[in-house]
Amino acid sequence: MKIIKMKKRDEFGTQFGALLALIGSAVGLGNLWKFPYMAGKNGGAAFILLYILFMFLLCLPLMLSEFTIGRRSQANAVGAFKKLAPKSKWYFTGVLGTLTAFLILCFYSVVGGWSIKYLLTSLSFGFTENINAKEQFDAFTSSSFAPVGMNLIFLGTIIGILWTGVKNGIERYSKILMPVLFLMVLILAAYAVTLPNATIGIEFLLKPDLNSITPQVVLEALGQGLFSLSLGMGIAITYSSYIGKNENLPKLAIITIVMDLIFALLAGVAILPAVFAFGFQPNEGPGLLFVILPEVFARMPFGSIFAIVFFIVLLIAALTSAVSLLEVVVAYLSEQRKLSRKKALILSGFALGLLSTLCSLSLGVLSEFKIFNLNIFDSLDALTSTFFMPLGAFFISLFVGWKMKKEEVYDELSNSGRVKIKAFNLFIFLVRYFVPTAILIIFFNKLGAFSSFF
């Protein structure tokens, strides 16, 4: 009788490597791009207090839920639900997460391409005092060749990182990129606080005005927590499936969230004091990164040097998050569709290259083509953030809170009783009641905003 040897599933080699990969998946453009302008338009310190609160009340139990599903099943986002709830429709939650990761990467890689372009501009000392940053940004993003080329270079880079697998690819590059990322953003923050009038920005970030808290600010803080940690799209399920059974999941989740918070706050300190120092407003919105900051760099002492550092930071943050998004898709194709890892990367890379090119061109020559009255880029952003991410997170919380047995959840989180979990009942309460309720509130709030496009 012929004995068939099962190929051992790839996994992270060390706890430190797993932790850096998890932090890398969480720390990305949500921290460096979205957090500063969200804090800027929502009152600064008051928003940050709410954001920190919801990171632990909403995001921590949700992240632990994804960790439970992933490591318990040792499978991709779709296979995890098939294994834990066979002969049921729960696997559609994994399908939704995988689709969300794929669609987000279609436009995320375009922004990653922008970060490459701006790094090259900074290396050539292209941010001068007579710069018209908005005109330059609009001209670049609306052109056909350059942004598409940068986008494809970005996609090629993340495919290259994933080519050698989990341990030799994701883990190895996380060990290099994440310490460099943290050191550089620390340098940027340290320099920003020395600028003239930087104290205005520091007070804005650290001195809360409780009168600025409105229901909308509360909802924005809830939504930013969900967005920042990339929850509800199968990343945490996929990555935790590569974590060994002896690792302390609650500890990994808490450290990941704390490091994500630290990075977001450092990004705020690095960006907002500089914005205040040169007379710009902190509520400039998404254009803060590519329109306002180049003008800030053009005016500040040693601005050319710090522009280079900043756009290196931006590129690394974009890469680490994009790697985690692509891994969700690759894990699904290789495990559920039985493709080799390299074939899965080639297939997904080809599809992403095609759709991300359409996203990029939708800001220029294809701008007249509309979906929900939005161009392709904005429609994919709105669709994933309004519908797919909240729904994915909602069903994950229901699955762990109500479908899985409490004993199963405790067994996984406690490593079969070897790790004490004192707040387990609080976790169950949050994941059963608070988390799904909060997500539904976010969902209907976003739905109302989305309906304005029609």
Could you give the CA distance from residue 239 to residue 80 in angstroms, rounded to a whole number?
A: 12
Could you give the CA distance from residue 56 to residue 399 in angstroms, rounded to a whole number?
A: 20
Could you give the CA distance from residue 167 to residue 56 in angstroms, rounded to a whole number?
A: 29
Confidence of residue 115 (pLDDT cuts 50, 70, 90): very high
CA-based nearest residue to 24, from 347, 447, 319 = 319
More reliable by pLDDT, 238 or 306:
238
Task: Please tell me the predicted confidence (pLDDT) of residue 359.
Answer: 96
Task: Please tell me the predicted confidence (pLDDT) of residue 2.
Answer: 38
Could you give the CA distance from residue 69 to residue 63 in angstroms, rounded to a whole number?
A: 10
Confidence of residue 195 (pLDDT cuts 50, 70, 90): confident
Other residues' Cβ atoms within 10 Å of the Cβ of residue 303: 23
Question: Please, are residues 12 and 18 in contact by the beta-carbon 8 Å criterion?
Answer: yes
Task: Please tell me the predicted confidence (pLDDT) of residue 343.
Answer: 96
Confidence of residue 363 (pLDDT cuts 50, 70, 90): very high
For residue 304, the surrounding DSSP H or E stretch is: helix 303-335
Q: pTM for this one?
A: 0.92
Task: Please tell me the predicted confidence (pLDDT) of residue 330.
Answer: 96
pLDDT at 453 exceeding the cut of 80: no
Give the tens place of pLDDT for each residue, 143-182. Answer: 989 999 999 999 999 999 999 888 888 888 888 888 888 8
Task: Please tell me the predicted confidence (pLDDT) of residue 32.
Answer: 78
Task: Please tell me the predicted confidence (pLDDT) of residue 4.
Answer: 37
Task: Please tell me the predicted confidence (pLDDT) of residue 412.
Answer: 96
DSSP string, 136-162: HHHHHHH-SHHHHHHHHHHHHHHHHHH
More reliable by pLDDT, 81 or 44:
81
The arithmetic mean of pLDDT across residues 83-99, rounded, is: 96
Could you give the CA distance from residue 371 to residue 106 in angstroms, rounded to a whole number?
A: 15
Amino acid, single-letter form, for residue 90: W
Task: Please tell me the predicted confidence (pLDDT) of residue 3.
Answer: 36
Task: Please tell me the predicted confidence (pLDDT) of residue 6.
Answer: 41
Could you give the CA distance from residue 60 to residue 258 in angstroms, rounded to a whole number?
A: 10
Could you give the CA distance from residue 297 to residue 192 in angstroms, rounded to a whole number?
A: 11
pLDDT at 425 exceeding the cut of 90: yes
How much of the chain exceeds pLDDT 70, in percent?
95
pLDDT at 126 exceeding the cut of 50: yes
The arithmetic mean of pLDDT across residues 185-205, rounded, is: 84
The arithmetic mean of pLDDT across residues 41-61, rounded, is: 90
DSSP 285: G
Confidence of residue 287 (pLDDT cuts 50, 70, 90): low
pLDDT at 230 exceeding the cut of 90: no
The arithmetic mean of pLDDT across residues 108-118, rounded, is: 94
Task: Please tell me the predicted confidence (pLDDT) of residue 247.
Answer: 92
Alpha-carbon distance values, 187 to 261, 310, 449 (Å): 17, 10, 38
**Mean pLDDT over the full length of the chain:** 88
pLDDT at 454 exceeding the cut of 70: no
Confidence of residue 285 (pLDDT cuts 50, 70, 90): low
Task: Please tell me the predicted confidence (pLDDT) of residue 449.
Answer: 63
Task: Please tell me the predicted confidence (pLDDT) of residue 308.
Answer: 92
Q: Which residue has the tokens 């957090």?
A: 35
The arithmetic mean of pLDDT across residues 198-219, rounded, is: 82
Tokens of residue 222, six digits: 């809830």
Task: Please tell me the predicted confidence (pLDDT) of residue 282.
Answer: 64
Q: How many CA atoms lie within 13 A of 378 on its CB side?
A: 16
Tokens of residue 60, six digits: 């921590």
Question: Please, are residues 90 and 81 in contact by the beta-carbon 8 Å criterion?
Answer: yes
Task: Please tell me the predicted confidence (pLDDT) of residue 442.
Answer: 84
CA-based nearest residue to 76, from 338, 374, 314, 393 = 338
DSSP 371: B
CA-based nearest residue to 260, from 55, 3, 38 = 55
Question: Please, are residues 28 and 317 in contact by the beta-carbon 8 Å criterion?
Answer: yes
